[in-house]
Chains A and B, each alone.
Chain A
Amino acid sequence: MMDVLQQLAYQLTYHREDPILLNSAFFFYYFVVFLFCYLAVSGSKQGRVWVFSLFSLYFFYKACGWYVGLVILSAVVDFILSNRIYREPRLSRKKLLLGISVVANLGMLFFFKYTNFFIGIVNDLHLGHLTPLQIFLPIGISFYTFENLSYTIDVYRGEIAPVKEFMDYVFFLSFFPKLMMGPIVRAADFIPQIAKPYKLTAEDVGKGMYLILTGLFKKMVISDFINQNFVQYIFDDPSKHVGLECLLGVYGYALIIYCDFSGYSDIALGIARWTGFKIPPNFDSPYQSTNITEFWRRWHISLSSWLRDYLYIPLGGNRKGKVRQYINLALTMLIGGFWHGASWNFIFWGGLHGAALALDKLRITFLKKRQYVFKGFSAGFWKVVGILITFHFVCFCWIFFKASTFADAWTLIHQIIYDFQPNVMGTLYEGYKPVFWVMGMAFVLHFLPRSSENWLAKRFEKMPVPASVVVMVVFLWFIIQVKSTQPMMPIYLQF
């Protein structure tokens, strides 16, 4: 009995090596208890706000320990500042207060995320010899600092009135479904939903379930499976793999990053939907894009729209001439790249995308001027060509995003160009058969029309509760089976 209690105590407290995730078994228990409590207070707005906030803060604690204090601290600071900005009549004082908010949020983000990166630069340039700090990046900090910023900037711009109840702001900031991996939610979208009564239609229930199940499927069946059984071997040491393996590894990674990230976002959206909140989608089948501009409208939408509204447009956007527009685009993407992580790889990745967006702007302007319109067969042909080019460019950039160093990235590219060895396809297929089938299935699913998604969501909508339970049980049983399959060991091909 003591053993069980000890294990229980272990499970309930924070452990750095074992943080809570939306796809963990612990989360399942947590979610049931949460829903029970949430339901018990569902009639009262105050009750909902307190229950949700407390559960969210606990979730935060399970994810990153006492760094949960940072969320509360930043909620206090931004709540006070936003109200002061709103009431302040003088523009100069408004600006000063906004400046404090920007410095406080970015300062916190920089301290935790980028200090060691800059220490590394100082050391590399022999400007000094500094010891890197023992900093552990608080989970979700990149997301909630951006949420704070968009909120205070919106208040400053007069687009929204600040929140009156402090707990409402804590609720918005800590909302656990989006806490670890976004999406970046705008206060303007979210806060009005808090006061609304907790009502769910059949559509909400069906859509929520659809999002949760497909999210889990993308994350655990597609992404984790391909990564563990194939792609991680390739990126770990590209020099040990021939060009064909490296290329397939890059295609695999394109699926992994999409399925992992969008799957997690979908689970967050589904849980939010079940608790009465609608959050706009974060991904929209991005690999269907026919050009890079479209890709960024369909990939990590909450980040790209945030960068557009709070970085690109304040920089001048397209209002200060063509040259400035290209510079602004490149700069926005460079900073966007840096947001993903403190390394030159991310900056380079952002730079590549920025340059491509600028070039694409040129192409669009050129086509507009000449009034080119493709019709019939040529329209279809160019669409396919566009999709292929865009996908391959995005894949090329992923190499730098994923590789741990520049050297690794170049090694992988070197292998694809100089050591392709297409003749190993048969052996490769034999060795990784299930992986390639899952990859094939994932690409097919990605290119299915939206109507098929709606069809499945509609089926869930019409299901009675017991049928939903059966679907969930079977689905979770399936996930457990996939998760525990014996991993395929890498095959090293020489010839």
Chain B
Amino acid sequence: MLHTIFSMSEKNRFAYPFYIVAGTLGCLLALSCVQNSFSLKNFTSRQVDLLADLRPKNTPGLLPGEDSAATVAGTTTQPTSPADSTQAVDTTATAAAPRYNFETYTGIQDYGKTSTTPGDISPGMAHFLQALHDLKAGKRRKVRIAYFGDSMIEGDLITEDLRDSLQNFFGGEGVGFVPVTSIVASFRTTITHTFSKDWTDYHYKNLPAGNLPLGISGHTFLPSAGSWVKYSPVHKPHLDKFEEVNLIYGPGDGHSTLTANEHTYPLSGNQTVNSLAIQPDTTGGLLMKFDNAGSQPLYGVSFESPEGVFVDNFSFRGISGIELGRLSRDMLMHLQEERPYDLIVLQYGANILWKPELTDYSWYQRPMTKVLDSLRADFPQTSFLVISTADKSYRKEDKYVTAPGVTALLRVQHTMAEAHEAAFWNLYANMGGNGSMTQWVESEHPLANKDYTHFNRQGAAKVGALLFKALLNKYHEDEKP
């Protein structure tokens, strides 16, 4: 055949494509057999390897010496003895719960301690679980949860499912706290929320001047002359009517008023946090107008029923949790008087993992530890639950793999929870551990978005259900003598 190729007429170049392609393949194969990666200034070229598909595959994604976390959601590992822990054990207190391997355990690990000093309450789950038991036994009317997070819980994701399950089990109606304006108002499906465009919104990234405090959601709103906000219930269980509606507002001059459903209410409170009960109209909606409110600072509106469990969603896009340090002690303590919280949930991670291969999170640990210290001081009687980062993948070579930063950050978050005697819930292990985000994104019925970071509605519902299950297990565990 070669004879025919070389003896072909000058004009017919029908063999050229073969020469070009075969020559190119030959060169690339030759290149593949040698180390051809090179570095030039900041650029390191990728090894060209045409034989990669034929080489035995290595499991990607893990750093040397790093174990993979649980691979199947829902599996629990045996508790390890306290002596296995590298943490120093406080001799003045006894451990309240068995210890599990936090990297794989899918239940809630409670680091709360039964203190020997009377009146001193540990930030573990004990207070919250007791509150639930009291609620169930009719000894108390309300249990409230403040759920802080970033864009992962925006639009009431995760919290809506958690709230729904909790209210099914423990009772309660209502969506909880809703800020005056919200960038995701139109995508929130648990309340219909519209507002005028003329509100001034101060928040973590646009701090108010002087001594104007930020509200617990991280926002404080000032009305203009024509400002209004409207809330309507939605056709969903627990959310289809407004029962107890309270406007939560800041310190004003005492002369402002608002009109809600044609009734005028004075805003006479002068505390850092004030609460005003408002009557919803017969159609169930609530339209509030602030024509005579000057620059009265407002935080939001809460929707509750006389009894039950309430979950407030405090999402703030793009934050790492450190921003919570901007909430003033004065505001939090007054809020705790008006609407006490029994559990504070902190779910952060996505915005800390902005560099997937970064594994040193001491820069985060230092300021976040301070934030936890001060939150603990501001809520001395409240339970704390730290939720770990979710799995987050990034593309390495041709495949999406778990970012090495995920387990590194998770350990830091766990260390902080343990050091503060708070509870810890490993969201990463609950998702399925290493590589789970890739599965959630690429499954036939996707549970997460293509950014390999955020859950979609289905994924958020699954996380909400897993968290509810973990809480309920803890609740039942607590029932046993």
Q: Who on chain B is nearest to A270 by CB?
A: B17
Contacting pair B55 A481 (CB below 8 A): no
Within the assembled complex, what's the spacing in Å between the Cα atoms of A233 and B155?
Answer: 17
Bound complex: CA A275 to CA B354 (Å): 48
Contact B28 A473 (CB under 8 A): yes
Contacts of B169 in A (CB 8 A): none
CB atoms of B14 and A39 under 8 A apart: yes
Check A209–B20 contact: CB distance below 8 A. yes
- Determine if B139 is an interface residue (Cβ-Cβ < 8 Å): no
Identify which of B184, B318, B354 contacts A493 (C-beta below 8 A): B318
Give A247-279 as 1s and 0s: 1 = Cβ < 8 Å from B's Cβ atoms.
Answer: 000000000000000000000000000111000
Task: Tell me whether A490 and B453 are in contact (CB under 8 A).
Answer: yes
Residue of A nearest to B392 (CB): A489
For residue A32, CB closer than 8 A to chain B, the reply is yes
Of the candidates A28, A36, A469, A493, which one forms a contact with B23 in the assembled complex, judged by CB atoms under 8 Å apart?
Answer: A469
Asked whether, in the complex, the Cβ of B14 is within 8 Å of the Cβ of A276, the reply is: yes
Which one, B23, B55, B205, contacts A466 given CB within 8 A? B23
A25 to B25, CA, bound (A): 10
CA distance A11 to B453 in the complex (A): 31
Q: How far is the CA of A494 from the CA of B151 in the complex (A)?
A: 10
Bound-state Cα–Cα, A201 to B46, Å: 37
Q: Is the CB of B14 within 8 A of A200?
A: yes
- Is there an interface contact between B13 and A204, defined as CB atoms closer than 8 Å? yes
Residue pair A35, B21 in contact (C-beta under 8 Å): yes
Report the stretch among B79-87, B158-166, B251-259, B393-401 that lies at the interface: B393-401
Measured CB to CB, the nearest residue on chain B to A276 is B14
Considering the chains assembled together, what is the distance between the CA atoms of A387 and B25 in angstroms?
43
Q: Is A208 an interface residue (CB 8 A)?
A: yes
A476 and B28 in contact, given A11-B54, A469-B23 (Cβ under 8 angstroms): yes
Q: Within the assembled complex, what's the spacing in Å between the Cα atoms of A407 and B389?
A: 29
B16 touches A200 (CB 8 A): yes
| Any A CB within 8 A of the CB of B34 | no
Scoring B residues 171 to 191 as 1 if CB is less than 8 Å from chain A, else 0, what string do you get? Answer: 000000000000110110000
Whether A8 and B54, one on each chain, are in contact in the complex, defined by CB atoms closer than 8 angstroms, is yes
Residue A451 is within 8 A (CB to CB) of chain B in the complex: no
Judge whether B22 and A36 touch: CB under 8 Å: yes
Count of residues in A whose CB is under 8 Å from the partner chain: 59
Contact of A489 among B55, B394, B397 (CB under 8 A): B394
Whether the Cβ atoms of A43 and B54 lie closer than 8 Å is no
Chain B residues in 8 Å Cβ range of A484:
46, 397-398
Q: Check A476–B454 contact: CB distance below 8 A.
A: no
Are A35 and B17 also in contact (CB < 8 A) when A11-B54, A228-B395 are? yes
Number of A-B pairs, beta carbon distance below 8 Å: 141
Task: Kindly provide the distance from the CB of B214 to the nearest chain A CB, expressed in whole angstroms.
Answer: 15
On whether the beta carbons of B56 and A233 are closer than 8 Å, the reply is no
Contact present for B46 and A202 (CB under 8 Å): no
List, in ascending order, chain B residues with CB within 8 A of A11's CB: 53-54
B54 in contact with A240 (CB, 8 Å) = no
* B19-77 residues at the A interface, CB under 8 angstroms: 19-25, 27-28, 31, 45-46, 48, 50, 52-56
Q: Check A39/B395 contact, CB under 8 A, given A25-B50, A494-B205.
A: no
Write out the residue numbers on chain A whose beta carbons fall within 8 Å of the beta carbon of B396. 486
Q: Is B5 an interface residue (CB 8 A)?
A: yes
Residues of B within 8 A of A209 (CB): 20
- B317 contacts chain A at the CB level, 8 A cutoff: yes
Report the minimum CB–CB distance from B242 to chain A (whole Å). 25
A465: interface (CB < 8 Å): yes
Q: Complex formed: what's the CA distance from A202 to B20 in Å?
A: 13
Known: A8-B54, A477-B48, A492-B151. A36 touches B27 (CB 8 A): no
**Residue among B1, B25, B206 with the most chain A CB within 10 A?**
B25
In the complex the two chains form, is B317's CB within 8 Å of A492's CB? yes
A381 to chain B, nearest CB (A): 36
Q: Of B54, B183, B186, B394, which contacts A494 at CB under 8 A?
A: B183
CA separation between A477 and B37, bound complex, in Å? 11
A interface footprint on B125-158 (CB within 8 Å = 1, 0 otherwise) = 0000000000000000000000000010011000
Residue of A nearest to B197 (CB): A418
A176 to B397, CA, bound (A): 29
* Distance of B3 from chain A, by nearest CB (Å): 12
- Tell me whether A469 and B27 are in contact in the complex, defined as CB-CB below 8 angstroms, given that A237-B449, A489-B354 are known contacts: yes
CB distance from B134 to the nearest CB of A (A): 39
Please state if A236 and B398 are interface contacts (CB–CB under 8 Å): no
Interface string of B362-386 (1 = CB under 8 A from A): 0000000000000000000000000
- Among A240, A411, A468, the one with the most B-chain Cβ atoms within 10 Å of its Cβ is A240
B230: min CB distance to chain A, Å: 16
Instruction: Digitize B413-456: 1 where CB-to-A-CB distance is under 8 Å, 0 elsewhere.
Output: 00000000000000000000000000000000000011101101
Q: Which of the residues A201, A239, A480, A490 comes within 8 Å of B184, measured between beta carbons?
A: A239
Distance in angstroms between the alpha carbons of A469 and B395 in the assembled complex? 31
- Is B12 interfacial (CB-CB < 8 Å)? yes
Q: Name which residue of chain B comes closest to A414, CB basis.
A: B186
A489:B18 contact, CB within 8 angstroms: no
Partner of A208 from B5, B17, B53 at Cβ < 8 Å:
B17
Q: Which residues of chain B are near A473, meaning CB under 8 Å? A: 24, 27-28, 31
Minimum CB distance partner of B151 in chain A: A492
Q: In the bound complex, what is the Cα–Cα distance between A477 and B28 (angstroms)?
A: 8
Q: How far is the CB of B410 from chain A (nearest CB, A)?
A: 18
Set of chain B residues within 8 Å of A493, measured between Cβ atoms: 318
Q: How far is the CA of A270 from the CA of B267 in the complex (A)?
A: 75
Interface presence of A280 (CB below 8 A) = no
Say how far A253's CB is from chain B's closest CB, in angstroms. 13
Which residues of A422-443 are within 8 A (CB) of B? Answer: none
Contact B318 A492 (CB under 8 A): yes
Q: Within 8 Å of chain B (Cβ to Cβ): is A26?
A: yes
Does B15 make an interface contact (CB < 8 A)? yes
A205 in contact (CB, < 8 A): yes
Complex interface: chain B residues within 8 A of A466 (CB): 23
Nearest chain-B residue to A468 (Cβ)?
A: B20
A469 touches B318 (CB 8 A): no
Binary per-residue interface labels of chain A (213-256) against chain B in the complex, 1 for a CB within 8 Å, 0 otherwise? 00000000000000010001100110110000000000000000
**Is the beta-carbon distance between B17 and A200 smaller than 8 angstroms?**
yes
B151/A240 in contact, CB under 8 A: yes
A330 to B443, CA, bound (A): 37
Q: CB distance B450 to A202 under 8 Å?
A: no
Chain A CB within 8 A of B11 CB: yes
B13 engages A202 (CB within 8 Å): yes
B91 contacts partner chain A, Cβ-Cβ < 8 Å? no
A276 / chain B contacts, CB cutoff of 8 Å: 14
State whether A274 and B17 are in contact (beta carbons under 8 Å apart), knowing that A3-B56, A39-B5 are contacts in the complex: yes
Report chain A residues within 8 Å CB of B23: 465-466, 468-469, 472
With a cutoff of 8 Å between Cβ atoms, the chain B residues found around residue A377 in the complex are none
**Complexed CA–CA distance, A40 and B14 (Å):** 11
Residue of B nearest to A203 (CB): B13
Q: Which B residue sits closest to A26, measured CB to CB?
A: B53
Taking a contact as CB atoms under 8 Å apart, the answer to whether B14 and A198 are in contact is yes
Tell me whether B116 is interfacial, beta carbon within 8 Å: no
Q: In this complex, what residue of B is CB-closest to A242?
A: B183
Answer whether residue A118 sits at the interface, using C-beta atoms and an 8 A cutoff.
no
- Tell me whether A92 is interfacial, beta carbon within 8 Å: no
B294 in the interface, Cβ–Cβ < 8 Å? no
The distance in angstroms between the C-alpha atoms of A473 and B36, with both chains bound, is: 13
B205 pairs with A495, CB closer than 8 A: yes
Inter-subunit contact A205/B456 (CB<8 Å): no
Taking the complex as formed, is B7 at the interface, i.e. its CB lies under 8 A from any CB of chain A?
no
Q: Does B282 contact A (CB under 8 A)?
A: no
3 A-B pairs closest in CB distance: A469-B23, A274-B17, A472-B24
A and B contact pairs by CB, cutoff 8 A, 14 listed: A32-B22, A35-B22, A199-B14, A201-B11, A201-B13, A237-B454, A419-B183, A465-B19, A473-B27, A480-B46, A483-B398, A492-B351, A493-B318, A495-B206
Given contacts A276-B14, A484-B397, A494-B316, 20 further A-B contacts (CB under 8 A): A3-B56, A11-B54, A28-B25, A35-B18, A36-B18, A199-B14, A202-B13, A204-B13, A205-B17, A205-B20, A237-B449, A240-B151, A465-B20, A466-B23, A469-B19, A472-B23, A477-B48, A486-B396, A489-B453, A493-B318
